[in-house]
Amino acid sequence: MGHELGKHDMMEELAETGRNLGSSFRHLSSSFRSTTSDLAVSSFRQNNDDEMELQWAAIQRLPSFKRLRTSLFDHKLLNDTTKEEEEIKVDRKRKVIDVTELGALERRVFIEKLITKIEDDNLRLLKKLKERIDRQESICLSFCFEAVVTIHIHDLQLKGTFVLRVGLKFPTIEVRFQNLSVEADCEVVQGKPIPTLWNTITSVFSALTTVRRCKSQSYKIKVLKDISGIIKPSRMTLLLGPPGCGKTTLLRALSGKLNPSLKVTGEISYNGYKFTEFVPQNTSAYISQYDLHISEMTVRETLDFSARCQGIGGRADMLKEISRREKQSGIVPEPDIDTYMKAISIEGLKGTLQTDYILKILGLDICADTIVGDAMNRGISGGEKRRLTTGEMIIGPNKALFMDEISTGLDSSTTFQIVTCLQQLTHITEATILVSLLQPPPETFDLFDDIILMAEGKIVYQGPRNYVQEFFEHCGFRCPERKGVADFLQEVLSEKDQAQYWYRKDQPHSFVSVDNFIVAFNKFHTVQKLNEELCTPFHKCVSHKSALSFNIYSLGKWELLKTCMAREWLLIKRNSFVYVSKTLQLVVIALITMTIFIRTRMKLDLVHASYYLGSLFYALIRLMTTGVAELALTVSRLSVFYKQRDCYLYPAWAYSIPAAILKIPFSFIDAFLWTALTYYVIGYSPEPERFFRQLFLLFLIHQMAISLFRFIASVIRDPPFAANFGLFTIMVIFLFSGFIIPQPLLPSWLKWGFWLSPLAYSEIGIAVNEFLAPRWQQVKGKHFIFC
C-alpha cells in the first residue's frame, strides 16, 4: 500500500517536472523564434546597407558631372511597409538613376513619401538638409547583434560609428535701411474727384491753363518718413499697420521694385552692399497682394515656368562642394535627401522636384493640374490663387522674401500652415523673411520672432515680439486677455479705439499720437541695441558669395528664349480653338469669295479689271482682319508680363520673339489656304511665279496685322480702349489704302496718309503682280487700271 502511494507521488512529480520542462521549452522556442526574426531583420537591413554602400561607391567613381545627377532611388515608395515581418518579405532595393529622368508620377510619389503631415515632415526634411550641410559634428551609434543559438543567447556586441558633417553654411542676407523716405507726386484734381462730365471738362480747362502758365499742379506726399531698421536672417518678421500706412511701399522699396517715378532718399543695403553694387530684384522675391497669372496655364505649369526662369542660384555650387567633401571623408548621405538635393540643383528642367515640394507644403497638390482660370474660365479658387502667387516667388533660390498680404482669402488654418512652413524655412535655412498681414490670428501671430508696427509712414515699434506688449504697457495701454495682440496693436494707434485699452484708471486718458509713441519707443530698451547695430557697418567680407545676385537674369539668353518659347507654344495649344476657328472661318469665306468672283463670269477687259482689283483688295482685308484676335490675347497677358519682367524673370525680347516666331506658321497656313482656294478659281494670271508672289504678299500682310495689333495692345493696355483704338486704326488704314479713294484724288494735306498705310503698299504690290502679267498687256486702256 505504501509502495503504491510512493509510486503515485513519484508519478505526480514526474508529471509536474514534465509540465515545467514543456513550459520552459515553449518559452525557449518562443525566444528562439523571436531572436531568429530579429536576426533576420537585422541581417536583411545589413544586406541592404551593404548593397547601398556598393551602389554609392559606384556613384562616387563617376565623373563629377554625372555624379551630381546620379542618386539612389526607391522604386517602391508606394509600399509603406513599417512592420518588421513586412520588411523581410518586401524587397526595397534601391536603383541607381539619373535624377533628370524622374517622371511626373515618380516625383509626386517621392514628395508624398517625404512629406505626409506637412508641418512635421517639412520640419524633418529641412533639418535633414541642414544636418548634411552644417558644420556641426554628430555621433551615430549603430547596433550589431551577433548570436549563437543553442539553449541560450550569448555574445552581444555594440559598435560605435562616428559620422562627420561636411562643414558648410547656408548663405544669409541681412537687410538694412537707414533714413529711408519715399515721396510721390500726385495730380491735383479740380473740384470733386468724381468722374462726371462737368468735372472732366473743368479738369481739361484747368490743364490747359496750367500749360499756359507753365505751373505744375501737383502735390507731394511722403509715403515713408525717415525710417530705419534691420531685417535679420533666421528671424521671421511681421509687418503690421493700418491700411495706407506704407507697408506695401516699404516692401517694394526693400525688394528694389519701387516705381521709378517715386523719389527715394536714404540707404538700403544687403550684407553691406548698396543697390547699385548688385541686382536686388534678382536677389530678393516680392510677393504682391495682387494675383496675376495666365488663366490658360495649370498650377503646376505656372510653378514650373517660374522655377525654370529663376534658376537654381548657388545650389549647384553648394552641392558640388558637399559632394567633394563627402567623397574625401567617406560619408554616405541619406539617399532620399541626396536625391532631393540633386534634383533641385539642376538647371533648365521642364519639371522639377521643387515644384512638387511647393505644391505639397502650400496645399496645392489637389489642384496641381487645374487651370488657373479667370472671370470667363472656371479654374482654381481665390484662396488657391493667393497661395499660387506665394509659391510662384518662393520656388526660386532667393534668400530674402518680402510678402504682401499673403493671407488674403485664406482661412485661419491654412494661414497657420503656410506661416509655419515659412517659420521652419527661416529658422533652419537662415532665410530673411518680412511678411505683411492685415489681421493675423493669435496662433499665427505667435509664430513670428520680430514685429514692425507702422502708422502714418513711420515705424512705431520694431523689435522682438515678446516685448511689444511691454512697450505699450509702458505707454499706458494693455491688451485684454481675450483680445488678439495683432488686433490690439493696430487699434491702439487709432484715435477712435485707443481709449478702451487705457489701463491707468487713476489718470485720465488723452489721445497719444503716433509721434508720441515714437518718442516713447526711442527711450525703450530694445532701441539701444538696434541703434548700435545700425551704427556698426556690415563687413562685406562676411557675406557669402552666393547670397547676392550680381547678374540681371538667372539664366543665359538661350535658356531664357527656350523657356519662353516653350510657354508660348503651350499657350498656343491651349488656345488652339481660336486659331482653328479663325482658319475654318477663312476657308468658308474663301469658298464664298470663289463663287462671287468665279472666272467663268470674269473677262479680260477694263470693266472686269476693277472686279479683279476688288477681289485682290478683299483678300488683303480678310487676311488683315484675321489678326484682330491677337489684340485680346495680348492684352489679357500684359499684366502677367509686366509682373514677371519687373521680377527679372526674363527680358521683354524673350517674351516678344517667341510670340512673333510661333505665329509665322499660322500666317503661312492662312495665306496658303486663301491663295490655293481662290487663285485659279477666280482666274488670276496662271503663271506659277505670280501665284507664289501673291501668296508671299498675303503672308506679309497677315504678319503685319498680327504685329500691329500686338503693338496696339502693348501700348494701350486697357482692353476696351485697345479694342476701340484697334478698330479706329483699321478704318484709317482702309481709308488711306488707295482703293476707296485713289491717291491722286486725296487732298494735298492728306496725301501723307497714303504713304503711311501698310495696306497701300500691299495693294500696290498685289495689283502690280496681277496686272503686269502678259495677258493684261493686250487690254486697251490698261493705263487706267491703277487710277
Residue tagged 539619373 (cell numbers)? 98
User: Which stretch of DSSP H or E encloses residue 346?
Assistant: none
Taking the alpha carbons at both ends of the chain, their separation in whole angstroms is 153
Q: What is the pLDDT of residues 476-526, one digit of tens each?
A: 899 888 889 999 998 999 888 888 888 888 888 888 899 999 999 998 988
pLDDT at 16 over 80: no
Q: What pLDDT score does 623 carry?
A: 92
The answer to whether 364 and 384 are in contact (CB under 8 A) is yes
C-beta neighbour count of 82 within 10 angstroms = 6
Share of residues in the chain with pLDDT > 90 (%):
41
pLDDT at 167 over 50: yes
> What does the buried/exposed string (b/e) look like for 297-320 if buried means 16 or more CB atoms within 10 Å of the residue's CB?
bbbbbbbbbbbbbbbbbbbbebbe
Lowest mean pLDDT among 102-106, 176-180, 353-357, 733-737: 102-106
pLDDT at 17 over 60: no
CA distance 561 to 555: 10
User: Which stretch of DSSP H or E encloses residue 149?
Assistant: none
Q: What is the pLDDT of residues 279-336, one digit of tens each?
A: 999 999 999 989 999 999 999 999 999 999 998 888 888 888 888 888 888 888 888 8
pLDDT at 75 over 70: no
The chain-wide mean pLDDT, for the chain, equals: 82
Q: What pLDDT score does 745 carry?
A: 86
Residue tagged 509702458 (cell numbers)? 474
What's the mean pLDDT in 383-395? 92
Residue tagged 554616405 (cell numbers)? 332
Q: What is the pLDDT of residues 722-776, one digit of tens each?
A: 989 999 999 999 999 888 888 888 888 888 888 899 999 999 999 999 888 888 8
Instruction: Quickly list H helices, 575-648.
Output: 576-596, 606-625, 629-646
SS3 270: strand
Tell me, letter by letter, the H, E, C secondary structure of 3-42: HHHHHHHHHHHHHHHHHHHHHHHHHHHHHHHHHHHHHHHH
User: What's the number of CA atoms in the CB half-sphere (13 Å) around residue 38?
Assistant: 13
Lowest mean pLDDT among 250-259, 317-326, 429-438: 317-326
Share of residues in the chain with pLDDT > 70 (%):
82
C-alpha cell at 421: 512652413
The rounded radius of gyration (Å) of the Cα atoms in the chain is 38
SS3 89: helix
Q: What is the pLDDT of residues 638-657, one digit of tens each?
A: 999 999 999 999 999 999 99
The answer to whether 295 and 373 are in contact (CB under 8 A) is yes
Q: What pLDDT score does 34 carry?
A: 46
**Which span out of 3-7, 188-192, 256-260, 323-327 was modeled with the highest average pLDDT?**
256-260
C-alpha cell at 627: 489678326
Q: What pLDDT score does 654 carry?
A: 94
- Structure confidence at residue 191 as a pLDDT band (50, 70, 90): low
User: What's the one-letter identity of residue 394?
Assistant: I
Q: Which residues contact 120 (CB under 8 A, 6 or more apart)?
A: none
Higher local confidence (pLDDT), 218 or 54: 54
C-alpha cell at 9: 507521488
pLDDT at 154 over 90: no
User: What CA–CA distances, in Å, run from 206 to 190, 203, 210, 220, 675?
Assistant: 7, 5, 6, 19, 56
pLDDT at 25 over 60: no
C-alpha cell at 178: 537707414
What's the mean pLDDT in 663-669? 94
Q: What pLDDT score does 316 carry?
A: 86
Q: What pLDDT score does 574 carry?
A: 92
pLDDT at 143 over 50: no
User: What CA–CA distances, in Å, run from 287 to 257, 290, 643, 644?
Assistant: 11, 9, 10, 11
- Structure confidence at residue 458 as a pLDDT band (50, 70, 90): very high
For helices 652-661 and 629-646, what crossing angle results, to 10°?
150
Enumerate domains of the chain plus CATH numbers: 169-292+400-540+550-555 (3.40.50.300), 569-784 (no CATH)
Closest CA to 722 of 663, 634, 626: 634
C-beta neighbour count of 377 within 10 angstroms = 10
Q: Which residues contact 163 (CB under 8 A, 6 or more apart)?
A: 138, 139, 140, 331
pLDDT at 445 over 90: yes
Q: What pLDDT score does 781 carry?
A: 53
Main-chain dihedrals φ then ψ at residue 385, nearest 5 degrees: -65, -40
pLDDT at 568 over 90: yes
CA distance 611 to 693: 20
Largest CA distance in the chain: 159
pLDDT at 587 over 50: yes
Q: What pLDDT score does 452 carry?
A: 94
The answer to whether 165 and 131 are in contact (CB under 8 A) is yes
Q: What pLDDT score does 188 carry?
A: 67
Q: What is the pLDDT of residues 685-729, one digit of tens each?
A: 889 999 999 999 999 999 999 999 999 999 988 888 898 999 999
Q: What pLDDT score does 780 carry?
A: 57
What's the mean pLDDT in 580-585? 92
User: What's the one-letter identity of residue 529?
Assistant: K
CA distance 315 to 350: 18
- Structure confidence at residue 421 as a pLDDT band (50, 70, 90): very high
- Structure confidence at residue 88 as a pLDDT band (50, 70, 90): very low
CA distance 431 to 424: 10
pLDDT at 194 over 70: no
